[in-house]
Structure 1
Amino acid sequence: MTTVEIVSFDYGHAAPPEAHVILDLRQHFRDPHVNPALRYMTAEDGAVRRSVLGTAGIRPLLRATVRQVQAFAAGPSGDRIAVAVGCVGGRHRSATVAHCLARRLRRRGLEVELWHRDLARPVLERAA
């Protein structure tokens, strides 16, 4: 059976992990970090998840990524598929999208391993 390994990460602390599919959320999707009320929260907080999932384009990206992973899994040698989801700080967008992607893939019968490489790292202080 195909195993999908999903890792959320940040581009600010370390290089991206190797993966078959990399989602770079840095430039095209609203960053909750710019909202001072959300800045020190993480994807474990409902307000962050609502903010990320309410961003235009995120849900279509999730649907497209599910289809892409399913295409990889249908291939003749698809025993492991690595998906990396990155943003600037690894606490908001990447972790939320990785979690939602894992849930959607599990509902479609795929075995999924999920980890958040940088969720617990300190907030990267930067201009809003």
Structure 2
Amino acid sequence: MEPPFDTFTWPAARTFGDHGLIVDPDPAAGPLRVMLKSFGHLHEPIYTGRTAAADHRHLVLDVRALFADPYLKPEMREMTGRDDAVRANVLAQPGAVAYVIAHAEAIAATVAPAKPGLVDASVGCAGGRHRSVVIAEALSLVLAHGYGIAAEIHHRDIHRPVVRR
């Protein structure tokens, strides 16, 4: 499958709220079937006393050890995965596009058996502002344009201050 993000812009995407994105597949695709969340492992879980994985139902992807962190580049530190330079940086890394395509296929395979019919998948990185945002949005594009599956994204930590480490 040829990924739909060769220019690092997101076709057929629209924002909602301050920290969300919806990628629209073909209008005939039907109702929303996938909820993608990006988050940072260095932030507290949403619910006190629970692990980050407990906040997500079907699939949790951890990209911390897979792809170099744009945070390490001073010029990208204050940016987010919504910035073209960060998108380009993450998706140009070896294996990034293949990772997105493979995991989109896994998510698509989970849609049919999911109860109550909505797949809940999350992508975590260190701070939740760079890699997880890019990978979650790229997954939504592949799901929409490769499988006709509507996805909504919520970036849990994109609005938080950069975690200094």
TM-score (norm 1): 0.91
Aligned counterpart, 1:113? 152
Displaced runs of 4 or more, over 3 A: none
| Equivalent position to 1:5, from 30, 35, 45 | 35
Query: How far apart in 2 are the matches of 1:57 and 1:76?
Result: 28
| Identity of matched residues, % | 37
Which amino acid in 1 is paired with 2:35?
E
Moved more, 66-75 or 91-100: 66-75
Q: In angstroms, what is the RMSD of aligned CA positions?
A: 1.5
Q: Give 1:75 deviation, angstroms.
A: 2.7
Aligned counterpart, 2:102? 64
Deviations 1:55-103 (A, max 9, x none): 1111111111111012112337561111100000111100011011111
Q: Give 1:44 deviation, angstroms.
A: 1.5
Tell whether 2:83 aligns with 1:45.
Answer: yes
TM-score (norm 2): 0.72
Q: Which has the higher contact order (CA 8 A, sep 6+)?
A: 1
Structure 1 unaligned runs (5+)?
none
Moved more, 33-42 or 71-80: 71-80
Query: How far apart in 2 are the matches of 1:109 and 1:78?
Result: 19
Alignment of 1:1-128 (within 5 A): 3-15=33-45, 16=52, 17-75=55-113, 77=115, 79-107=117-145, 108-126=147-165
Which amino acid in 1 is paired with 2:102?
A
Which amino acid in 1 is paired with 2:133?
A
